[in-house]
Structure formats: C-alpha cells, structure tokens
Amino acid sequence: MTRRRGLTLLVGLLIVVGVSACNNTEHTMVGACHIRPGSACAGNFMEGAHLPDSQLYDVDLSHADLTRVDFSGSDMSGSVLAGARLTESNLARTNLSYADLTAADLTAADLTGADLTGAVLTGTSLTPAQMAGVHLCRTVLGDGTVANPDC
C-alpha cells in the first residue's frame, strides 16, 4: 500500500512539473524571436502572430514584418519599431509610449485607445489607421511637429 501511494505521488508530481514547464513564457517563440521584454528581433517575420496583452517593452522589432499581428493591450513602451511593417495590425489599447515608429507602415492598423506619449512617428504611414481615443502627448508626428507639447 505504501509503495502504491508513493508511485501515485510521484506521477502527480511529474504532471505538475510538466504543466509548469509548458506555461513558461520565456520560451515563447515567433519566427526566430523569443517573446519577452528587451528582445532583439530586428527584421523578424511575425506575420499573423497572436500576442495580445504581451510584455514587450524595450524590444527591437525594427524592419520586422508584423502584418496583421495582434498586439492589443500589450506593453510595448520604449520599443524600436522603426521601418516595421504593421499593416492591419491590432494595436488597440497598446502602450507605445516613447516607442520609435520612424518610417513604420501602420496602414489600416487599429490604434484605438493606444498610448503614444513621447512616441516618434516621423515618416510613418497612418492612412487609413483607426485612431479613436489615441493618447498623444509630446508625440512627434509624421511631419515632425509635436502634438500636445505641454500636456
């Protein structure tokens, strides 16, 4: 009877350890990129990825193909998205404060409720992006002017 309980306990322990290892977000990969804060994923192909509510602050996604990626509700503050293709991407409620979006392609992207405080949008294509409720504060716009410099 004791040996059987020990075996049941051991099997139960293995199942718990196995589930814990599967839920480790440090090993989430999209293309060749580990999805975590501070990742260097310049030029990565991530088209159609589903990454809502992700912690992606300070990531380098410059020149990456992020077409139709769902970043809704994510924290991408301080990220470098210069030259990235974000066509038809979902950035609704995303924190893009102090992000570098220089020359990014945001054509038909959903930026509804996004925070663009201090973001740089110089040369960025925003037509026809959805921008209802976007927070612009000290944001460098496509033409180089600063929106709400005293906010």
Q: pLDDT tens, 91-143?
A: 999 999 999 999 999 999 999 999 999 999 999 988 888 999 999 999 999 89
Q: How far apart are CA 114 and CA 112, in angstroms?
A: 6
pLDDT at position 49, please? 93
| pTM tops 0.85, yes or no | no
The answer to whether the bond into 128 is cis (omega within 30° of 0) is yes
- Average pLDDT across the chain, whole number: 84
CB 77 within 8 A of CB 101: no
What's the mean pLDDT in 63-92? 97
CATH code, residues 28-151: 2.160.20.80
